[in-house]
Structure 1
Amino acid sequence: MNDRPQPRADIGVFGGTGFYTLTEDAESVEVATAWGPPSAPVTIAAFGSEDPVRVAFLPRHGTGHRLPPHRVNYRANVDAMRQLGVRALVSPFAAGSLRPEIRPGDFVVCDQIVDRTWGRASTFHDEFEDVPVHVAFNEPYDRRLRRVLLDAASEAGVTAHDGGTVVVVNGPRFSSRAESRWHRDAGWHVVNMTQSPEAPLAMEAGIPFAGIALVTDYDAGLDEDPDVEPVNQEAVFAVFAANLHKIRRLLDAAIPGLAA
């Protein structure tokens, strides 16, 4: 019988497309959940020397990006972070821009979300055991964490837009031109495939949550600029890889404030 206590962490980070490790100097931890295994073993590393902050990292798509967005076990991933005791959960993700002023290489610290996915387990409550549980979701992203991330972006010298709505599509295919135009006409800002159900599950788990979009493309193109090519997989991975250092700089600057 294993009597070792469960490791603890202060902050949780989900890694997205192209972001599979946070640091090499990390402890690998297996976390069992009632929802099955998370996408990969969680790694925990300490940041800072005087008052170290323990950061738990989990690549949502698993080792080698084996899990498409509709097959990620979001409940297990969020529950693993809950079991580790994180007080803040940060979710960087690749996104397509729906606005000409939000450019590839920019960040968007989102404040709203629209869920257009289907067939995903988006709640921990498959039945109400004692009383009904309907969480408020009017503010899906924690205001304090958003402020910390925006300040960290300024400190790290990266362009981050303050607020924006992410529309979440099921994937793994990209949007049609008509769908992309619909999303733009609705007033939304970026499009992604994984922010839901991460955000509502974090809300149910009682973990303050923040999403950071790294813009990799202009989705299906821009009507006002026919020279803008529609997104393709190769371009997404290339732009994300070229800007991964910005995510690391931003997180390094944000970690002390996120743990406060």
Structure 2
Amino acid sequence: MSVKIAVIGGTGVYDPKMLNNLSREKVATPYGDIEVTIGELSGKRVAFLPRHGAGHTVPPHLINYRANIWGLKTLGVKQIIATTAVGSLNLNMKGGDFVLIDQFLDFTKNRIYTFYDGGERGVIHTDVTEPYCPELRKIIYNAAKELGYTVHPAGTYVCTEGPRFETAAEIKMFAKLGGDLVGMTSVPEVVLAREAEMCYASISLVTNYAAGISPNPLTHEEVVEMMTAKSEQLKNLIAKTIENLDPDRNCWCQRAVSGQSQLGK
């Protein structure tokens, strides 16, 4: 029986405590094997994948994004709920707020962004006008409102290479370009999910203000502290979203490359 819903946990989200009847499964891909935890929630099978490894052992620039997405596609996943910890460039998006990002600005440098490098699978130019599935974002937004959480329905995510934090000058530039939040992992993950014809939405949790806005030096510890403080809310939001989610819902994202996708086949 295929697994149609997946959760990709970011910083601070390393274990699938919201799921029941857990089992581990190794999935082989052309880019290496991945391990996922499969469980149940609201009568639905859900795959959980910690993006940085169970103990945050993989830095953002070394994550095997292609293996992760291909592996989830192989399991039958159609919809991905991802989480990201972000710094805020927007004073209206405060620490502890949830943001359902709808756009990104890509400032990564050394990552592989596509499954389609020519050869047998050819070359595909994928539309990312709306990179984050608007329908899935709406379902998450309604779940957050149902729970009474502070949630922003949209925001522009600036993706940097990491693992260092950004300079104050970079943050000032990103803000002038329209960025609201800054993080290190959403690209190429969201692009690969689109190529794999899966709905993808990200719940971003603001952990602090970015460099030059925050009055203090940035530390990974403060990011983890905020994620820990909000972990129950985040898990509740994921659980409520899955409860409200139809595993078989159809969407344009699932036809994004006109059926040409060969992933997981």
Deviations 1:87-139 (A, max 9, x none): 21111110000011100100100110111101111111122436531111111
1:201 aligned residue:
192
Across the aligned residues of Structure 1 and Structure 2, the Cα RMSD in angstroms comes to 1.4
- Per the alignment, residue 30 of structure 1 pairs with 26
Unaligned 5+ segments in structure 2 are: 250-265
Aligned 1:101-140 pairs, distance under 5 A: 101-129=92-120, 131-140=122-131
1:170-192 C-alpha deviation (Å, 9 max, x unpaired): 00000000001111111111001
1:16 aligned onto 2:10: yes
Q: Does 1:147 align with 2:135?
A: no
TM-score, structure 2 length as denominator? 0.89
Write the deviation string for residues 213-257 of structure 1: whole angstroms up to 9, x where unpaired.
1010101032xxxx7324211111111111111110101110033
The answer (yes or no) to whether the contact 2:12–2:228 under 8 Å persists in 1 is: yes
Identify the residue that residue 164 of structure 1 maps to in structure 2.
Answer: 155
The answer to whether the aligner puts 1:79 opposite 2:66 as a matched pair is: no
> How far, CA to CA, are the matches of 1:172 and 1:37 in structure 2?
24
TM-score by length of 1: 0.90
Worse-superposed segment, 62-71 or 227-236? 227-236
Please say if 1:183 is aligned against 2:177.
no
Out of 201, 213, 217, the position equivalent to 2:204 is: 213
Tell me the secondary structure at the aligned position of residue 99 of structure 1: coil
Q: Which aligned pairs between 1:32-51 and structure 2 lie closer than 5 A?
A: 32-38=28-34, 41-48=35-42
Indicate the SS of the match to 1:139. coil
% identity of equivalent residues: 40
Pick the aligned partner of 2:48 from 47, 51, 57: 57
Distance 1:210 1:76 in 2: 19
Paired amino acid for 1:103: K
Counterpart AA for 2:153? D
Match of 1:233 in 2: 220
Once residues 63 and 123 of structure 2 are traced to their aligned partners in structure 1, the CA distance between those partners, rounded to angstroms, is 26
Q: Which amino acid aligns with 2:3?
A: A
Which residue identity does 2:91 align to in structure 1? P
- Residue aligned with 1:30, SS: strand
Question: Counterparts of 2:121 and 2:110 in 1: how far apart (Å)?
Answer: 26
